[in-house]
Each structure stands twice: as C-alpha cells, then as structure tokens.
Structure 1
Amino acid sequence: MSTTDTSARSRAPWWFNLAGQLLEPWVRIRRDPAEPATLLEPGVPVCYVIERDGLTDGLILERACREAGLPTPLQPLAGTRRKRSVVALARRDSLILGSSRKRSPTDALGQLVRLMEGDPERDVQIVPVSIYVGRAPTRESGWFSVLFSENWVVVGRFRRMLALLLNGRDTVVHFSAPVSLRTVVNESGDLRPERLTRKIGRVLRTHFRRIRAAVIGPDLSHRRTVVDSVLNAEPVRAAIAATATKENISQAKAWRRAHDMMMEIAADYSHPVVRSASFLLSNFWNKLYDGIAMHHFEKARAAAPGHEVVYVPCHRSHADYLLLSYQLHMSGVVVPHIAAGVNLNLPVIGPILRRGGAFFLRRSFKGNALYSVVFNEYVAQLIDRGVPMEYFIEGGRSRTGRLLAPRAGMLAMTVRAFLRAPRRPVLFQPVYIGYEKLMEGKSYIGELSGKPKEKESLLGLLRGLKVLRQRYGHVALNFGEPIELNPLLDAASADWRAAIDDPEAKPEWLGRVVDQLADKIQININRAADVNPINLLALALLATPKHAMAENDLLSQLELMKALLEELPYSDRMTMTSMDPAGIIAYGEQMGWIRRVRHPLGDVLVTEDEQAVLLSYFRNNVLHLTATAAWVASCFLNNRRMSRASVLRLGRIIYPFIQGELFLPWDADGFCQQLQATIDFFVRRGLLEATGEGRVLERGPGQDDAAFQLKIIARSLIQAFERYYITIAALVKNGPHTLTSAELENACTLTAQRLSLLNELSAPEFFDKALFRGFIQKLRENRIVWTDDAGKLDYDKGLEDMVRDARVILAREVRHSILKITPGGDGEKEAPAEKPLPTDATSEALHERHVAAEHHEHALVEATVVEEEAGEPHDKR
C-alpha cells in the first residue's frame, strides 16, 4: 500500500476502517477491466461516481481502487473542499464515506461544475463505477445465495449486507472509461450550471442503467404484466375482433384463445432459476466436455451497450443454446430470451427452459392469423423493453455440418418491430459453435439416410442420458463481426423512417433487407470458424478412397493445410488449433475417431465405416475455408497443365453456386483475388509449377507427392461439382419445357442416391434435397434457368456450355456414370456438339505461338487446357 493510501485510510472514521477489516474475508473482487489504471489520464484528479450510497459499496470501492493501484476515494478531491473523491447518485438517506445526510448528489456535481467555470485550467476525471454483488456464482456457492443475487430492486441495508456475506466472493466492480469534466463544460455552450448539473446526472443514471441491463438484464415485469401488455396492444385487439367475426364466436372466447396462445409463447424469466441452472450446468459441462473456449467475446461485449442485441448462432446441437447462455452468464452478460420450438415445451423441461428465458413458437404460422399477430406483438414487446434475444435463423439443427439456407421469419419480425418503435438500434451478433464430437451424431446419420426424425419426448430425453457416459472433447464459441441494422436500412431506402408512421405498412424494400441480413449473418458465422483437430483429420482422411493414409502422408497433409490457413487466413476472426500434425493424430486416436494399423513399412491411420460418415459432419463445418484451394486443385485432378486464365475464368462461372452453398464472403473479383493468392501459395510449396511468365500452370505426374496432396485438397469439394453436374445434365438430357423444379429436384436426388450406393460414398449429404434445391434456385437467380408459362423449366444455351466445362473438373468415367443413371430420354448422350480438348503437344505449341504473338494472348492461353484422356495410374498409397 502506498503512503498516500495509508494516510487516506488513517483519515477515515475508525468505524469505516473496522468495517473494512471485518468485511475483507467475505469479499473477493473481480475488476472489469482487470487493469483500470490504464484508463486514467496521469496527473488529473479523479472523482468516482457510484450508484448507491451504502456503506458496503463504499468499502468495496475503496478496496477495489487499492488493489488496482488507483487513487483512493478516501482522499480529498484536489482543488476542492470535498473530503472524499466519490459521489453517489442514489438519494437514500444514508452516510457514505463520511458524506452528509442532507446533501443530494447534484450538490456535489454542482460544486465540481462551478469549480470548472471558476478556473478554466482545472480538470477532473469523472469515473463511473458499477458494483454488482453475487453476479457470477461459482460451483462452491450455496443454493441459498441465489435468493440474494444482484437485481434491479434497491434493497435495504440488512438485505444488502446479507447478500454481501452470501455472495461477496463473487463481486464484480466495473470501471467505465473516465470522462473529462472540463470537456463537458466546454461543450455545454451557454448552459447554466444548474441545468448542466442535472444533465450530467441524467447521463450518468442512463449510463448505469445501460451497464446494469448488459450485466443482469433489463428490468422485466412479472410475466402476467407482459402478457396483459401484449393482449391490450392495438394490433392484437384488432386480430381478436377479426377472429371473433370470422369464426362467429364471442369476443370473450377469442380473447381467451389469444390469452392461451400468449401463455404458450411467453418466457417467465427468473434470475434465481438462471443462477441455479448455472450450478447444475457447471457439473454437466465438466462431465461432458474437456473445455469450452470463447474467442472475440470482448469485442462482442464492447459493442453491446446501447443496442438491442440479437444473438444469431449456427445450430448444430440441442446443447447450443445452453452452452451460449451459460457462457454469457458466467462472463457477466445477461442471458438472452431464446426462441425455441414448441416441441421442446415438454413436461418438467419446458417450465425450466421458460424460466431460463426460452419463449416457444410453433413451426408454422400458416392459417392462424391470430397466432401470428400475437407472436409478432410479443417479439415487438421484447425489443421495445430492451430484452436481448437469441434465435437460430437456420430453422433447425444442421444434419450435415453445413450452414443451412436461412429461414428469415424471425429476422423479419425483428426488423418490423424495430421499425415500429426504433428507440434502440438493433445489433445482430453471429456466433460460430464448433464441436469435436456430437451427442446427436448417430441420429443425424439415420435422418439423412431416410429414417423419420424422432419426436422429442420426456421418455426419449431420459433414454438419451446414456450419452453422458462419453466425452465430447472441446467446444469453441467464436463471436463473429456484429451487424448493425441501421446501415442496411439506410442503404435500402433513404426514407425508411417514414415506414414508422404506418405500423401495418410493408415497404417493397423490406424483403430485400431481410434477405441481405440473413446472408450477411451466415457469412459472418462462417468467417468466425474454429478449425479444430477433428476438422483437419476429416478434410484429409475422407479425401482418400479407403479413408486411410500412411502416417507420413497424413503428417505432410496436415502440415500443408495448417500452412494454407495460416498464410491465407479466411478472416481475422477465424481461429485454429495450436496442435502440431503429430499432436493432431494423437488426439484423433485418443478421441476414437481414427485407428492406427501397425505395419513394418510404416503405420497407417484409418477411419472406418460409421466413424467415416460421422467425420463428414466435421469436414463440412470448415469446407468453406478451403473452397478456393479446392477449386484450384480440382482443375488439376484430370489435367496436367492448365492456364492461369482458365482457372480464373471457370472459377468465375462456378463461384455463384459454391458461394450460395458455402456462404463465402467475396464478390466475383474478390474470389479471383483469392484464387490468385492460392495459386501463388501452391507454386511456392512446389505443388504447381508456373511457366510462360506465370501464365501456364503444371502439376507433377500422378505418382508424385505434390500431385497426391493436390488430389486430397480437391476431393473435399468434388462432390459439390458432381451434384451440379447431375442437375445440369438432367436438365440438358431431358430438354427444355420438360421438367418442373420439383421434378428436377426429385430426379437429382434419386440419381445422387443411386450414385452413392454404387460408389459407397461416406457422405449422406451428397443426396440432400436441400442442396439440390439451393443449386436450382441459384440457376434461376442467375437467369440460366427459368420457368415457362406451363411451370416447366427452360434454360439458356449457357447451360450446355457448363456441361462441356465440367469435363475440365470431372473425370470421364464419373460423367458417363452420372449420365447413364440420370433419368431422361437421350440415353448416353452427354451434351450437344462436344469439341475435343487440345492435346499436350497442341497445348505447348499454342503457348509458343502466344509468346510470339501477344495480340492473340488471351485466346491462346485460354486454350491451354490439357485433359488426360487415357488417365494416369491411380496413386497406390
């Protein structure tokens, strides 16, 4: 302790020092930020401002400042007559740090303002300090302490002291950034000191309310009050009247129906239940997982104050919402209200989820206008009250590991609720959740193979408790770049605020904004991906025919993929395991994902049967990270030599489709820049050789190590190209004006299923209808395919060019196999007017002529595509 602190404490009343010594063993302080001294301007006097004027808060503040090396609040404020450097905003009749009972907080602030006006050279740093007792319980905390957690109620001295004795070891002291009072006075203009003092007081109270809402949640009324507020809203009353008239029932009966709907929907948030659940979940996670890591959380927390925060994570497991809520709570952020399917409103479980902040919605609102209005009004009420929310825009858990196409219903409700009452800007916070093993893995495989989804029930939940016997590795929660709603609205319409005047209006730009928002959320989730050891093993092993690799080859492939992601990072929010290749293999063996087969010539690592299918989920989690590398490598699966220009040209053609499937962040030009950087990386690593001043690229023969590594990278995306070929081949084979979208989707699914059976593919998503549906939709968006007056599909001639271009990527036997089993009327016909590709000799001659005649450069280099007609021997590894 410094001499100044010692002397300051010696000037405090004897009872204050005694109380501090008695309280010290019961209190453990966590400062936020950990080093608040770095916030202060050296040499400028400090005045702390706190919410309450209780003795305990004064003791906590003094100790927190002492432990952080900050100026003590017990010393006089330099240049003033104040005996203490602290002001309390609460107007309770009490003593704090020796202050007078008769003085109001504005008296102290007024003194400081007048001091600034009397001496233009003087300044004081105002530091708001928020103190929360019992905000973050630990596993050793008692259950009784839940009743005395921090809340919005201004409690008496006895209850505050009891809360401190029970929860004092979980005390958080939040130091906000200091504000220069001199700057405030200078910027106030001609405002009188009395009015300026009141304004400063209002700003400080607003600041404390904002911080408290971010830490413990908004001040929510009882559930009945929220229900009554919704039922009394004008849109709901009008919907009740309309229902009564339409169905010829009494107004009272229609009202009771709406009331029952609200009771089915509404959360019944309870701080004690959330606190109690945190105790249980601590033990649950410790039994289930080896660790839960959060990345970029501090950035997310810094952006939250002052906003209506909507968390929009990816949805991969029932554990998602519990994990995110638990981690937010333990990190000092309020648990959001979570939109959950009504199928989870089970006996026993439902009420607990409801008190933890869950509100329930039906899968479809279609045909029930009253329910739609009631639910929309409830969401609007949550936003109006500043309640943070969480929902999954995918509409359900991903069974394949990919992000699903967004369902924008909740987004549209959120945007319309904001337009109705834009009191607080809305911030969407994407969250990537990455697992190393899933509890639902086996059920996902069954559903993708055609088994019906098992309905949630309490009995099924009890049967599923056997999963607790296993370990599921580590979990990562990565917070992506937040998305503010206002800039999207500004870009869509300069006068979007005019929509506020008519709450029933549906502006023509609203749908476009919602779609852009949904895509941006999915893109930012993918940009925050975490690459764990299981993802890397899946990318490597599933690219081999037998899902097996020699240990040396696997070590080299893992090192290559890590180097690729490190040298060409997907985004600044992507994270990756720190394990080296040997550590990754050892960890995969430990988790039971791979098995080592001993052999005198070198061990082989293999993943077998069901494990290989399960691993495809984790490959798909990070497929987007290697999309550019996979495209470049795919161009050399069946070609020894190819021009750089051809790789880029074909990349531009294919990009809209892989962008729509994988939610990639670039436009076409940005994708080409990524392709250029990836090509340069492959050249540096010796996987490709650049000749002709870098215009022509060549790989080694098929038996070469570099060619083997390229094939492994390429095969991570080759199934997507096969799906695309199935779709366009089916269209061309059947001809225009023949198939509807639904018929084409069904034909593609059947073809893919049969191809999967014939080739024993360990990727059940290969014949996922949703992926075919998404590709067909992209064809329509790009006007390559459209619907005629009879509802049949017609297409542009460019589709036939795409069939021909597919020969560059897909091997002849693959194309012929697809064409053979695709339903249609033209038998083995591949595509009209196929032109032969140039041979090796022709390619070299064309390149020489290109060097000699620069005015033919583009056309001739584009022609340097060499297909290996006879094929090379397959690698025997």
Structure 2
Amino acid sequence: MMTTAEQTYRSRAPWWFNLAGHLLEPWVRIRRDPAEPATLLQGDAPVCYVIERDGFSDALILDRACREAGLPSPMQPLPHTRRRRSVFALARRDGWIFGRSRQRSPNEPLGQLVRSLEGFPERDIQIVPVSIYVGRAPTRESGWFSVLFSENWVVVGRFRRMLAFLLNGRDTVVHFSAPVSLRAALNEQAEVRPERFARKMARVLRTHFRRIRAAVIGPDLSHRRTVVDAVLNAEPVRSAITSTAAKENISYAKAWQRAHKMMMEIAADYSHPVVRSASFLLRNFWNKLYDGITMHHFDKARAAAPGYEVVYVPSHRSHADYLLMSYQLHASGVVVPHIAAGVNLNLPVIGPFLRRGGAFFLRRSFKGNALYSVVFNEYVAQLIDRGVPMEYFIEGGRSRTGRLLAPRAGMLVMTVRAFLRAPRRPVLFQPVYIGYEKLMEGKSYIGELSGKPKEKESLIGLIRGLGVLRQRYGHVALNFGEPIELTPMLDAASTNWRDTTTDPNAKPEWLGSVVDQLAEKIQININRAADVNPINLLALALLSTPKHAMAESDLLAQLDLLKALLEELPYSDRMTLTPMAPDAIIQYGEQMGWITRVRHPLGDVLTVEGEPAVLLSYFRNNVLHLTATAAWVACCFLNNRRMSRASVQRLGRIIYPFIQGELFLPWDADGFGVQLQATIDFFVRRGLLETTGDGRVLERGPGQDDAAYQLKIIARSLIQAFERYYIAIAALVKNGPHTITASELENVCTLTAQRLSLLSEPLAPEFFDKALFRGFIQKLRERRVVWTDANGKLDYDAALEGMVRDARVILAREMRHAILKITGSEGEKEPTRAPPVPEPEPEPPSLTLTPPPGPPESMNTSEELHERHVIAEHREHEHAPPDHEND
C-alpha cells in the first residue's frame, strides 16, 4: 500500500501518466546514483530537472526515481514561471523506428527560467541534470536479445526505445548530478543577454551529458572506420606514407594501402553489445574457475577518474589479467578500457572477439618499420584525444617469477607524447595489483625458467589448454593503487613543457627522465597496493627452510609473526592482508593442494615438495618486497650474534639502492633508515632481538633458540638476492678490469648461478634469472661503482673491495667458498681455519662506549672501530665447530 506522501506525490501528474507508471512498474528496477540524491539539493529554491533526451519512458523513470528518493516531483508546475512541469529535455526524439534528435528545444525553457528571475534578485532555481540509462546497470544480465537494445550513443526512435524499456527496464540507472544555481550563473554572466545566456547554458549541459555518458557506457567511437580514417588523414601519417613511397620507389596509393592494412591490424572494433555479451558469459566462467574476485580501493579510483584520460597500468601475471580487469570494471559500472595486446593474441576466432572487446594489437618490435611506428603512435594519440580509457602492461610481458619486471617504456612514451600534442584532457595513470592464489600458466612458467623456449600462442594450443579449466584457482584480488597524475610530473620537469605541443614530432630532452620516473612510480605504486593472501604467507614461511618443511607448531608461530609484522608495520595504506588466522591458513593451504601434512607421533609436519615448491616461489615473490626491511635486519644476524644499530643502518644504506631497484621499494635512503629502526623495535618487542649498551647494541639468542629460528626464516627470503650480488662481484673481479662486457658478465653470472643451484640446496628459479643480474649490473653503473670504457669493457672502482668485505658479515662462509670456487675468483682471500673457540662472552665494554655527537648512521672513527670489532668477532665464529657456526 502506498504511503500518504507517495499518494500526494502522484497526484501532481495526470491520471493517464500515473496509470502508465502503475502498469509499467513491474518492468522497471531503478538504481540511483548517488543512492540519496536529496542530499545534493541546496536550500529551498525550486528544482527544475533537465534530461538529455525527450521521451515518455524517460519521464516515467524520472518521476518514479524522484518519488523513491524523496525529491520534488518533476510533474508539478514550476513556481514563478508559466511552465506546467518542472522538467525539460535538451533534445526531442522524432520518428518511430530510427529517430532524429532536435536540439532547438532547450533554449525556450531556459529562456523562460531566466526571465522568471529578472527583477527578483531573491529568487533562484536549481537546475538538476539527470542522466537516464536503460540497460546499462551491470549487476544483472537479462539475456542475449536484450543486449541488442542496451543503452548506446545512437538516438533511437520511440519503438526501439519502447523495446529497450521492456527488455532492459530492470537494468536502469538514473544519475543525478549536483544542482546548478541559475541565479549564481546569471550573476557570473551579468553582461550577457538572456538569449545568449540560454544558448551558452544549453551547450554546457550538452557537454556535461556527453561526459557522463562516456563515463558510464564508453566513448562514442561509432565504428573503427572512423578512427582508421582519422589516423590515415593525420599529417604525421601522410608524411610517413610519402616518405615510404619515395624510399621504396612505390606509388603513394600502394604505400597508403600498406598503412591502411597496418591500421586494420592494430585498431580495436569496440562493440557495446559484444562487451555486454562477454560479461554475460564471463560471469559463469569466473564462478567455475575462481572462488571469488574481490576489488579493494576501487571507490577511490572511481572518485579520482572523472575529468581525466584514465590509463590503467596493472601488473601482468596471467592471460586472465585482460579479461578480469575488463569484466570487473564493466560489472562496477565503469567503461571498459581499450587494451594493448600483443599481436600474438590475434588468433582466429579469439582475435576478433578480443578486438570487439576493446583490444588493439601491437607488434613486439617496431624496429626497421618507420611507417608502422608512426601509424601506431597516431592511433594511440587518437584514442587519447577522444578520451578513450586505455590499459596496458608496462612490464612488456607476463612475469614468470612473480616479481614485477623492469618496465618497458614504449607505451608510456607514446602516451606522454600524445598528451603533449593535445593537452586538452589531463592523463591519470591508475596502477593495479592483481594477486592470484594459483595460476593457470604455472607449469609453463617452470619450463620457461628452466630454459625451455616459450610456446607460441595458437588456436590449437588454446584448445589443448582447456583442461586447466577443470581445476579451481582460489580467490583473485584486484587492488587499485595510488593514481599518478602526469601534469604535475611535467611541471616539475619543465616549466615550459606546454610549448612543445606545437610540434607533433617534438622530443624534448627531459622526456626520457620523465618517462623513467613515471615507470618507476607506477611499479612502486603497484607494489604498495599488494594483497597478501594465505598462499603468499605459506610461501614466505615454508620456502625459507632447507627442506621446505616445518613442524606445525613452528609454522603457526611463523605465520603469526608475519601477520603481526604486516599489521603493526603496514607497507602502505593500500596494502591488504588476509583476515585468516594461522590455523585457518594452514587448513586452506591443504585444501588448495599446496602443502602436505605428514603425520608424526611427535607432532605433524607441513611440507611442500617437488613441482609445487617451485610454483610456490612465484607467490612468495609477489610479496617479497613487503618483508624486505625485516629480511635485511634478520640477515644481519644470520652469522652474527651481535651487531650495533648503527652497523645495521650503515650496511643497509649501502645495500638499499640494489634492493630498491630490484623490488621497487618506495622509500628514499632516509625513509629506509626509519623503516629499519621501526623494524628493529618490532623485533625487540617480539623478543627476537635484545638490546644492550643503552639500546645501541642488538643481540639475538643462540642458534637453537626459537627466536633465532624465526629470524633465520625471515632472513632466508632475501638472502638469495645477496648471493646473486656476490656472484656478480666475484665474477667481475675474477675477470679483471677492461676484459669483459656487461652482456658477457650477465652470461657468466647466469651460468654460475645455474651451477650453484645444481650443487647446493634447491634454489628458486629466479636465482639464475638473467634479467635480475642485468638490473644489478645496471645499478652498479648508475652508482659509478662500475662503468664502461672506450672499448665497451667494464672497469670498476675500489669500492667493490668494500662490498666484498661487507658480504662476509651477511653471507655464510660455505656459500662464499662455493661461489668463489665456481667463478675461480681469488679476489677474496678467505682466512685459514682456526682451532675451535668457545661461545663468546657478553659484549665487551668497547662496544658500549658512548659515541661522539653526530647522526648514528655516520661512520665516525669509533664506529669504524666498532664495525671492525664486529667483523673480527664474526670471523672468530666462522672458525667455530659446525654446531656453533651460526651462533
């Protein structure tokens, strides 16, 4: 039964209007945006609604939406005017089938409203733009046929609008915008005549409706021929066609045909019906494949997007990334972006489907094909100029190790240059972290990391791979990171960057540094939005043991420690952590088939063996950066019982640039120092470390102690990185200066790491990843520890000797000996084995001397002596019997 308020509300409309609304009410389900639009109104001024297109169904929907939201009725007379209704449309729809829009109508009602305020300065009218979309609400799909009549940019006739209303009425969105004070707008345009003001107001409203429609259902691209023609007629492309024709001695027409063929290979053919149909299919597909897909911080990303050209830049870990992002964005009411995909995915059947879903294809390399490069650059520029949201993966390919790969800046350069050409719409980069609990491509990744060639994508291969769909892959998380605006970065790089917009081929000298900073910031913000799931935590714990096995009690304690570390010292405000308790995490790991329980009378053991252990390293690497600071502190106590805080800080500052470059950590040197201090304090609170000497000296328990064991587990997650660094340094010293190139050093390091992996305990596949060695060597060159001579050979600074000395504090003697033996290096003279020495006494008084004034991290004379004492003490321990070697 209707309430008195609803009865009063309906009495404002004609009886036939109310009857139609009553009859069609079961066919309509409205979702308001915002849910409580009444909060948008300002004061008691009369309200006049303006809708984009005239239509009986639109009036019915608006009337019902206002009634349900408690807003003034659009069917009531507007006070102080001759208007019988408090609503008008910008365009009138004519015709029964196709329809035509007439845009003469808004000036008359706007003129009436303006005249009603003349001579009455106390009067005001609130203009509320209302956008109505029938068949766009993403929470429900009603069938294949209804997709054909979903909301789009075409102005349809009354018959098609009626079919859309009947088929998709339950998927209706009514978007209320903030009201515009007509009095305030008039005061701002005091010198403008009322007729001209009405025309200007109508243009502003039409622009507003176009912007809202583009945000909800996507930009108006009509057909890809529209974009293709625009690209081929652009001046840079015409010049490139002319140049190609002259260079290859062919006709302009033939060169044009070649450019046209390239464009048809590249361009997306975005189709709203296909996207909605794909969403219909994918909903059931995801339900069979995953146990759930969650998004975090999407509300923040959505709030930041209006008014910007949005470029989504997710991490790339699976082929499912493309579909997951598009599906989740569409399901959340956001337009699906155009996605840059490798041309290897342009397969029969699959390629056309992806193309209509917004994929545009690019070749792996543009080298040697100037025409293709110009055509592709112009296509990207056209998309940005038209306000089309885009998505691409700056890693260039899927990560086979679980770490973020070094960025490839090609698409970023194109995006920045396209914006510089036409900076009408600011660009916003939206990083997204995609986290899985199991990967469909896991086994193929293992093969590729072991040296097998990457299998070429094919339709037959895709059909053969459908067997993976019989498995379950747990949960998936999409975490939206802190967005990055391009304009402030350009302002910081050059105050006159806008002057470059006049030349489409301009390459300012600061462009490279801006793109590099942008790429690094994107990767950092992706990592800051990491999602820590139960599989990540199990991998961090179990893979840090020699046999990848732990007693259940130890594993429970380690999981509790890791969760406490991430909760008390959160990596960022965008990081998310599983709410599961440690016992639930273990149970979940068993259900997912990652870990195996071995029953034993003295207590069960949890283990991971063989192929699952290698696969699990992928999920450890996803979140390795979150525990990097804790792992560094713990590494300092792998082979030392005692170290000063200042020593941990000093060595941390030396090693930090290399860890930062590998894991894309967010802090500068000072920020990392703060994190180190906070981590040390956490370990002290948890009883893993003790302090002496007024807190200046840190000490761990003996090797058999539970606290020492927990520290060792944390340390081993990062120790392989330091072993890789030592391999590179030892190999370089072994070959000597001016004898080896950077590429040759990479190969030597990779072979050394592979052999070391065969001779020692099982190591993670990325231990011999050439890209990681390349990144370390590049960082050495950036810091001028290593440089290239005139012949392209590597030369190095004496600082390498200091790095070798510092490595003795962190790496075990056996590992250093193994590396030196494989490389044949004599750069480090290891001391001869001394007789066993007893457990050292408590720290000598010299370690607790009060330091001279100055920052604790500065290396003054007394601290140098202290550091030498610690290293000397460590060397004494190295000669102890095996049972005491780690004490």
| TM class by smaller structure | over 0.9
Q: TM-score, normalised by structure 1?
A: 0.94
Which residue is 2:604 aligned to? 603
- 8 Å Cα contact 2:633-2:648 kept in structure 1: yes
- 8 Å Cα contact 2:138-2:330 kept in structure 1: no
Per-residue deviation, 1:102: 12
- 8 Å Cα contact 1:843-1:863 kept in structure 2: no
- 1:231 paired to 2:232: yes
The code of the aligned residue for 1:776 comes to I
Deviations 1:98-138 (A, max 9, x none): xxx99932333344445555444444443322111111356
Change (3 A) 1:660 1:848: closer
- 8 Å Cα contact 2:625-2:665 kept in structure 1: yes
Q: TM-score, normalised by structure 2?
A: 0.93
Q: Secondary structure at the match of 1:400?
A: coil
Which residue is 2:857 aligned to? none
- 8 Å Cα contact 1:631-1:651 kept in structure 2: yes
- 1:167 paired to 2:168: yes
Change (3 A) 1:699 1:828: closer
Which residue is 2:699 aligned to? 698
CA distance in structure 2 between the aligned counterparts of 1:828 and 1:509, rounded to whole angstroms: 42
Per-residue deviation, 1:54: 1.0
Q: Secondary structure at the match of 1:310?
A: strand
- 8 Å Cα contact 1:427-1:482 kept in structure 2: yes
Q: Secondary structure at the match of 2:643?
A: strand
Moved more, 612-621 or 690-699: 690-699
Which residue is 1:480 aligned to? 481
Change (3 A) 1:596 1:511: same
CA distance in structure 1 between the aligned counterparts of 2:764 and 2:861, rounded to whole angstroms: 45
Task: Write the mapping of 1:581-730 to structure 2, written as runs, cut at 5 A.
Answer: 581-730=582-731
The code of the aligned residue for 2:574 comes to R
- 8 Å Cα contact 2:549-2:607 kept in structure 1: yes
Change (3 A) 1:849 1:672: closer
Change (3 A) 1:267 1:823: farther
Task: Write the mapping of 1:751-766 to structure 2, written as runs, cut at 5 A.
Answer: 751-766=752-767
CA distance in structure 2 between the aligned counterparts of 1:161 and 1:630, rounded to whole angstroms: 64
CA distance in structure 1 between the aligned counterparts of 2:167 and 2:174, rounded to whole angstroms: 17
Per-residue deviation, 1:683: 1.3
- 8 Å Cα contact 1:850-1:861 kept in structure 2: no
- 8 Å Cα contact 1:751-1:823 kept in structure 2: no
Which residue is 1:98 aligned to? none
Q: Secondary structure at the match of 1:221?
A: coil
Which residue is 1:384 aligned to? 385
Moved more, 62-71 or 105-114: 105-114
Which residue is 1:51 aligned to? 52
Change (3 A) 1:539 1:229: same
Task: Write the mapping of 1:372-521 to structure 2, written as runs, cut at 5 A.
Answer: 372-521=373-522
- 8 Å Cα contact 2:851-2:863 kept in structure 1: no
Per-residue deviation, 1:659: 0.7
Which residue is 2:835 aligned to? none
Q: CA RMSD in A?
A: 2.5
Change (3 A) 1:74 1:692: farther
**What count of residue pairs does the alignment treat as equivalent?**
865
The code of the aligned residue for 1:278 comes to S
CA distance in structure 1 between the aligned counterparts of 2:560 and 2:882, rounded to whole angstroms: 26
CA distance in structure 2 between the aligned counterparts of 1:15 and 1:590, rounded to whole angstroms: 61
CA distance in structure 2 between the aligned counterparts of 1:201 and 1:875, rounded to whole angstroms: 82
Per-residue deviation, 1:405: 0.4
The code of the aligned residue for 1:61 comes to L
Deviations 1:145-174 (A, max 9, x none): 111111111111111110011111111112
CA distance in structure 1 between the aligned counterparts of 2:763 and 2:309, rounded to whole angstroms: 43
Change (3 A) 1:91 1:165: closer
Q: Secondary structure at the match of 1:638?
A: coil
Deviations 1:319-343 (A, max 9, x none): 0011101111111111111111111
The code of the aligned residue for 1:459 comes to I
The code of the aligned residue for 1:569 comes to P
- 8 Å Cα contact 2:400-2:445 kept in structure 1: yes
- 8 Å Cα contact 2:785-2:796 kept in structure 1: yes
- 8 Å Cα contact 1:804-1:831 kept in structure 2: no
Deviations 1:377-412 (A, max 9, x none): 111111111111111111100000000001111111
Which residue is 1:318 aligned to? 319
CA distance in structure 1 between the aligned counterparts of 2:237 and 2:614, rounded to whole angstroms: 49
Q: Which runs of 5+ in 2 are unaligned?
A: 97-101, 833-838, 855-859
- 8 Å Cα contact 2:31-2:137 kept in structure 1: no
- 1:844 paired to 2:871: no
Per-residue deviation, 1:175: 2.1
The code of the aligned residue for 1:849 comes to L
Per-residue deviation, 1:860: 5.2
Q: Secondary structure at the match of 1:90?
A: strand
Deviations 1:612-662 (A, max 9, x none): 100000000011111111111111111111111111111111111111111
- 1:541 paired to 2:538: no
Moved more, 580-589 or 81-90: 81-90
Per-residue deviation, 1:850: 3.2
Which residue is 1:777 aligned to? 778
CA distance in structure 1 between the aligned counterparts of 2:40 and 2:601, rounded to whole angstroms: 63
CA distance in structure 2 between the aligned counterparts of 1:114 and 1:584, rounded to whole angstroms: 69
Per-residue deviation, 1:871: 7.1
Q: Secondary structure at the match of 1:395?
A: coil
Which residue is 2:288 aligned to? 287
Task: Write the mapping of 1:186-225 to structure 2, written as runs, cut at 5 A.
Answer: 186-225=187-226
Moved more, 486-495 or 217-226: 217-226
Change (3 A) 1:102 1:189: closer
Change (3 A) 1:94 1:782: same
Task: Write the mapping of 1:239-388 to structure 2, written as runs, cut at 5 A.
Answer: 239-388=240-389
Change (3 A) 1:641 1:359: same
Per-residue deviation, 1:746: 0.7
Moved more, 686-695 or 604-613: 686-695
CA distance in structure 1 between the aligned counterparts of 2:104 and 2:448, rounded to whole angstroms: 70
Task: Write the mapping of 1:125-136 to structure 2, written as runs, cut at 5 A.
Answer: 125-136=126-137
- 8 Å Cα contact 1:430-1:482 kept in structure 2: yes
The code of the aligned residue for 2:39 comes to T
Change (3 A) 1:411 1:853: closer
- 8 Å Cα contact 1:819-1:829 kept in structure 2: no
Per-residue deviation, 1:752: 0.6
CA distance in structure 1 between the aligned counterparts of 2:669 and 2:848, rounded to whole angstroms: 30
Per-residue deviation, 1:756: 0.8
CA distance in structure 1 between the aligned counterparts of 2:551 and 2:224, rounded to whole angstroms: 61
CA distance in structure 2 between the aligned counterparts of 1:481 and 1:592, rounded to whole angstroms: 34
- 8 Å Cα contact 1:702-1:872 kept in structure 2: no
Change (3 A) 1:760 1:139: farther
Which residue is 1:835 aligned to? none
Change (3 A) 1:831 1:62: farther
Moved more, 532-541 or 60-69: 60-69
CA distance in structure 1 between the aligned counterparts of 2:862 and 2:185, rounded to whole angstroms: 66
Q: Secondary structure at the match of 2:580?
A: coil
- 8 Å Cα contact 2:428-2:485 kept in structure 1: yes
CA distance in structure 2 between the aligned counterparts of 1:830 and 1:796, rounded to whole angstroms: 21
Change (3 A) 1:696 1:84: farther
Moved more, 640-649 or 847-856: 847-856
Change (3 A) 1:124 1:874: farther
The code of the aligned residue for 1:27 comes to V
Deviations 1:488-523 (A, max 9, x none): 111111111111112122111111111111111111
Change (3 A) 1:182 1:799: farther
Change (3 A) 1:206 1:840: farther
Deviations 1:702-734 (A, max 9, x none): 111111111111111111111111111211232
* Identity %, equivalent residues: 83
Per-residue deviation, 1:36: 2.8
- 1:576 paired to 2:542: no
Deviations 1:790-839 (A, max 9, x none): 21111111111011111111111111111111255x3874699xxxxxx9
Change (3 A) 1:828 1:699: closer
